[in-house]
Amino acid sequence: MSEIPVFNQRIFWDVHFDKLDYEKEAAFIITRVFDRGDVPDIRNCRRHYGDEKITEVLLNTKFLSEVRTYLAAAVIDRPLTDFRCYRLRQLNPELFPY
């Protein structure tokens, strides 16, 4: 893994940004960057953690917004049905939007 990536602090607005442990909290950081980050943040995340680690985390995360799940599927080149968050969303459909 490379040096510590530079992320926009707005992604981690609810935690102490300076106290993040990039190795111990990798799953949290990767999920948060893909859910709230922009393209440069995602690129920095991929450079730091590598595609193998990112794929493992994204496929097993419980929640990503629907739009970001599509983005993650495109970035790691996997079908939506491989994502745990997608399968969970299918099990709990929302009310029909009128």
Averages of pLDDT over each 10 residues, the chain, 98 residues: 77 89 93 94 94 96 93 95 92 69
What's residue 93's pLDDT? 74
Show the CA angle centred on residue 85, arms to residues 98 and 46, nearest 5°. Answer: 125
* Residue 73: C-alpha distances to residues 21, 66, 80, 85, 90 (Å): 26, 11, 6, 12, 16
Helix (H) / strand (E) element for 30: namely helix 26-36
